[in-house]
Each structure stands twice: as structure tokens, then as C-alpha cells.
Amino acid sequence: MNWIIAFELMMLVTSGCALLVSGWLLLQARKRRSLQALAGFGLMMALWCAGHIAIQQGWHLAGVLLILANPLMPTFFLHFALRFVRPQQSRAPAWLLWLSQHIVAIYSASVAVILLSWDGPGGTVVALGPFSDFFVFRGLGWVNIAYTVVVGVLAHLVLVWGLSVHRGNLRRSIVAMFGAGAWGLLLATSFIFPSLGFDWYPYPMLLLPSYVVLLVYGVVRYQILEANDFAKRTLPWLVLMLVLLGVMALLGALSAHFGLVQLAAVPLWQLWLCALLAVAVALSLRGPLTTLSGLLIYPGMRLDESLLERWLNQLKQEESWQGLQARAVELISAQVRQRVHIQLQHEGAGLPLYCEGELSILCQHQARGWRFRLQGWEDLKPGLRLTGEVFGSLLSTSCGLLERSLQLAEAERRRLASEHLVELGSLSAVMAHELRNPLNVISMATADLPAERRSLIQGQLARADRQISDLLLYSGRLELHRQPVLLPAMVDSMAGLFDWQQTRFDSDIPAGLLLTADPHRLQQVFTNLIENALSFVRNQPGSLIRIDCDATGRLIRIHNNGPAIDAALHATLFHPFVSRRAGGSGLGLAIVRRIMDAHGGSVSLREDLGWPVTFELNFPEEAAA
């Protein structure tokens, strides 16, 4: 009697699982039409199991009709397989295209076989082992079962073709279907044995609920992520149920040995039923009890997944540190119902400030990423402190995302600026070359002018030519021709190139000092620095320009005792088009820096050497070797 109840219970569970899964698949079928046919398969599985239950309850006619309707089960699965593998006209074989085009005819044939087996008759009810009523095939019922097998084979042939042409998740789903199909075939085989004359109890049919679940999960796990989340939550409860069933069976077997005679007299199926009811009650109370325990342990906390998702989305939308800070203050202050200060210590930010008695969340960038710390939360309720911890974690994540976003934006800005400078340099070089042609024409046109006017125009033309030369030098490509340069000789030879106008020039460079550099570019550096100094000290009483170097010969300094440079100009002094003298092109110091950079050195302004203005040239070690 116990095994009969177990059989009915498993058929009931299978039917219930199949109905639930079919309903869920119909909801999902709005996005994936192939799941409609799979839902039909689940519905027919539920009706097939209901037929066995009806026979056990004495409703023989209804049970036989439901079981003989089983050709529709593989027909629905064939329809699903055709939609799932998506055969295309150019790739699919002829037989597969024929099945796709005549699926309605296959449904009609299935209905015809069902009607034929109903009229046959196709089956009857006999006694089998502990069963007083069990279904077996008779007469045209064998046509019914043969047709069912043929359609099932066709469905799996469709899947075999899909396995050969698809890759990725579709292929994985097909492999999972084959595994579930093999398991279902093993379980259903025991249903056929009584029809063949074997008086065996169909033990494998007790595991039919697993077939429905495995088949559907194998299909959708790679297509619908919600199914994996549901399976993750359900699996622990299934394991718990199996453990409880095993414990109940062990308890029933050992209870007599411990003197628990009344417990030993309880049928095993009743113990199992109690265990299943206990699991069902625990599952139904899980949500309310979790909420209640949260309220008891963390009073005042009002966190859920939707709130956390809203927080994260709003924080991720901010595109600046100020915006992120303001948004964070708004969100957490509204949640805890009091003012919370947010301090973001990112690169370039000052040290955090904390006032005693204030609620604060400090996010800092550390070696291993962003970390947060709560300040002033010690006296709050546990629920509010947990709220602060959760929000701080989300805020740290948002800080990291914003930092990476700003870095990418800055890199893109620099790339565009670099491209713009390249274009500007090319344009400047072209314009400078083009300007020299009309200047030459103007110069030749002054030949017949009076000497005074010709001298004035020639001076301005020379000035324009120098500016064009500077523009070409700055915008063009620097190619260095390095060679040993005797620096004292070069400096002395340049002394006659300038109009000193009562300015004393002094050079204190050791005799024999050699620099490995491009002599033409090096002379351009000294020319620009001396001309720049002369523009401020020329015709001034006691004016002096001095050149010296340190003991290593790597640091060359050009001093002058003219007016000090305004501190506001220090940051941009070596930028192009920054000039502090009338008539200057604004490229002299920028050219000096570019030439020094090309040599692997640098140029800087010094005001700590006892002179109002000193420009220091720093050459690399190999240049002074």
C-alpha cells in the first residue's frame, strides 16, 4: 500500500511541476516564441501524469484517454526543437525544411493517432504487483506508442543537426537537452514493461519530477538568467528535502531499537509526508521570518534590492566629484533622516575635515582601491549603522567608476589636443613659408626709397623674418646632429653678434669644457636667452649679463640683473606666445625649452642664486661626459 501512495504522490508532484513550469514558460514566451511549444510539452506531461492518478482513483476511462493523448507530447517537443535550432533555407537539409513547413500536418497526424487509439481501444487497466489498477497498451495502443517514439526520434534528429551547426549557448542548451532526454527515457521505460508482460513495479517513474525540471532548466539556463537565479534559491531547499526524507527513513528504521514502538509503527510514507509538509511550511515562512528577524536585529533599517539599485544608478550618473558628493549627501541623508557629511579624498583633494558629533562617510583612494570609513556613527542603532556601511560600499564603488571615467575623458582630451597641435604646427609651417614670399617682394620694392625710409622698412622686415624663423623652428621637426662643442669658444664667438649698448657681458666657463650637442641648436638657445635678457637690461646703469656653470659642467646658467619676473608668469613662462617684452614673438623661451627637451635636458627659472633672473640649462650626464 505504501508504494501505491508513493507512486500517486510522485505523479501528483510531476503534474504540479509541469503545470507551474508551463505557466512560467508561457510568460517568457512573449520574448522567445520557441518556448510556447515547450510550454505545450509541459502541459501534456502534466495531463499524462494526471491520467495515472485518475486510474489509481478509479476513473479508468478518463485516465486511459489522458495517457493515450501522449503523442502530442513529443509533437510539441518536435515543434520546440524546430524553432530552437532555427533552420535556414540556405543551410538546412531538405528533410528539416520539410518538417518546419509541415508542422501543422504533424500535429494533425498526432491528433488522428490519438483518436484512432481512443476508438481502438488502445489500452486497458490491469492489476500489477501492489497496484489493483495500472495502465497497459493493447491493440491500436501499440500504434500510439510507436508513433510517439518516431516523433521523439525526429525531434532529437533535429537537435543533432542543431548541435552540428550551432556554437556557444545554443550548443550548450542542446547538449543539456540530450542529457535530460536520456534521463527521461530511462525513467519512462519502466512504464512500458507491464504492457510487455513483465510484472515489475515502475520504480524509476518515482523520479519523473526531476525529468521535467532538468529538461526545462537545461533549455533555458543559457537563455534566461532569471532561471539560474531561481535554481540557485531552490537548490538548497531541494537538498534539505532529500536530507529530511533520508533522516525520516533512518528514524523509522531505527526507532524500534530505541524503544520508540509507536514511532516505528508509523508508515514511512506518513513520515515522508510530514517532512515534505515541514519543508513547505518553512519555505512559505522564509520571507516573512527573514523580514521579521531583520527588523528585530536591525531596527530602523529599510533596505531592499530596489533601493540599492536606485542608489547605485543615481551615483553612477554623476560626472564630477562635486556632483557625486552632493548626490551622496542627498541620498543617505534622506535614508537616515538626518544630515550626513560626505568627504571624497580623491587625487588632488585636500585632507579630510571631521567635526566631532557629525555623521560622516569618508571615501579615500588607497593603494588597493577606494575604501570608506564611517565617522560619528558609533551611537546609532545597528540598523542605521548597517545602512551607512552598505551606502559607503556603494559610494566607494561609484568613486572608482568615476575616477576611471575621468581618466578616460582626460586621455581623450589630451589625444584630441595633441592632434590639434600637430595640425596647428603643420598649418603654421605652411603659413610661415608663404609669408616669406611677399616679404621678399616688399624688400625688393624698397630699393628706390630714401635711405631713412628704406632703413625703417628693412628693419621691420628683418623683425618679421626673425618671427617667421622662430615660428618655423617651433612648429617644425627638430633633427639633432650631435657633436662635441667647445662651449667657451662658442660663447666668446657669440659676443660680437649682439648690440650690448652699455651692458657688460661676463663669461666664467672653464676652458676646455666640452658638451655633446647640436652646435646650431645650442647657439640658438644662448641667442634667445641673451636677447631676452638684453631687452630688459640694455641701457640700464650697471647692467650685467653673466654666464657660468657648476663643477660638473652639466648646469649652465645665464644670469642678468634686470627686473625680476612677475610670479604670475612663472607657470606659463616657457609656453608659446607668452611674452613680457614689447615686440617679442612669444616663442623665444618656448623654443629654448623644446631644444633642451630634444637634447634630453631641461630649462628652468631660478631666483635663489643671488640674481634677479637666472635661466638654468640642465644637460644630461652623457652630454657633459
Q: Which of 46-60, 196-210, 218-232, 243-257 has the lowest mean pLDDT?
A: 218-232
Q: Which helix (H) or strand (E) holds 408?
A: helix 382-445
DSSP-based three-state secondary structure for 602? strand
The percentage of residues in the chain with a pLDDT greater than 70, rounded to a whole number, is: 83
The percentage of residues in the chain with a pLDDT greater than 90, rounded to a whole number, is: 9
**Between residues 250 and 468, which one has the greater pLDDT?**
250
DSSP-based three-state secondary structure for 556? strand
Closest to 44 measured CA to CA, from 18, 63, 64: 18
Cα separations in angstroms, 384 against 56, 313, 362: 58, 21, 16
- What pLDDT score was predicted for residue 110? 93
For residue range 327-377, list pLDDT tens digits in order. 999 998 888 888 888 888 865 555 455 556 678 888 888 877 888 888 888
Average pLDDT, the chain: 80
Domain ranges of the chain: 2-223, 229-297, 305-410, 480-623
Largest CA distance in the chain: 139
What is the residue-wise DSSP string for 309-376?
HHHHHHHHT--SHHHHHHHHHHHHHHHHTS-EEEEEE-TT-------TT-EEEEEEEETTEEEEEEES
- Find all residues with CB under 8 Å of 132, minimum gap 6, and list them: none
Closest to 529 measured CA to CA, from 623, 624, 469, 617: 617
- Find all residues with CB under 8 Å of 438, minimum gap 6, and list them: none
For residue range 109-142, list pLDDT tens digits in order. 999 999 999 987 888 888 887 788 888 888 888 8
- What pLDDT score was predicted for residue 114? 92
List own/partner pairs for 368-374 with CB under 8 A and 24 or more apart: 369/396, 369/400, 370/396, 370/397, 370/399, 370/400, 370/403, 371/396, 372/396
Cβ neighbour number for residue 35 with a 10 Å cutoff: 26
**Cell numbers that stand for 571 in this block:** 607657470
**Cell numbers that stand for 594 in this block:** 623644446
Which pLDDT band holds residue 12 (cuts at 50, 70, 90)? confident
As a whole number of angstroms, the distance between CA 400 and CA 6 comes to: 57
As a whole number of angstroms, the distance between CA 7 and CA 17 comes to: 15
For residue range 175-194, list pLDDT tens digits in order. 888 888 788 888 877 888 78
pTM value? 0.47
**Cell numbers that stand for 384 in this block:** 542605521
Asked whether the predicted pLDDT for residue 486 surpasses 80, the reply is yes
Asked whether the predicted pLDDT for residue 230 surpasses 60, the reply is no
Superfamily classification of domain 2-223: Rhodopsin 7-helix transmembrane proteins (1.20.1070.10)
As a whole number of angstroms, the distance between CA 248 and CA 430 comes to: 94
As a whole number of angstroms, the distance between CA 190 and CA 203 comes to: 7
Burial 146-174 (b: 16+ CB within 10 A, else e): ebbeebbebbbebbebbbeebeeebeebb
Closest to 184 measured CA to CA, from 158, 130, 148: 148
**What's the CATH code, domain 480-623?**
3.30.565.10
DSSP 563: P
- What pLDDT score was predicted for residue 466? 66
Q: Which helix (H) or strand (E) holds 547?
A: strand 544-549
For residue range 159-180, list pLDDT tens digits in order. 888 888 877 777 888 888 888 8
Q: For residue 200, with 0-12 CB atoms within 10 Å meaning exposed, 13-18 middle and 19 or more buried, which class applies?
A: exposed
- CA of residue 78 relative to chain centroid, distance: 38
Per the CB < 8 A criterion, the answer to whether 148 and 70 are in contact is yes
Asked whether the predicted pLDDT for residue 66 surpasses 80, the reply is yes
- What pLDDT score was predicted for residue 358? 78
Average pLDDT for 410-423? 74
DSSP 28: H
- CA of residue 89 relative to chain centroid, distance: 37
- What pLDDT score was predicted for residue 546? 92
Asked whether the predicted pLDDT for residue 296 surpasses 70, the reply is no
- What pLDDT score was predicted for residue 1? 45
- Residue 558 exposure: Cα atoms within 13 Å on the Cβ side: 20
- What pLDDT score was predicted for residue 214? 75
Are 2-223 and 480-623 the same fold in CATH?
no
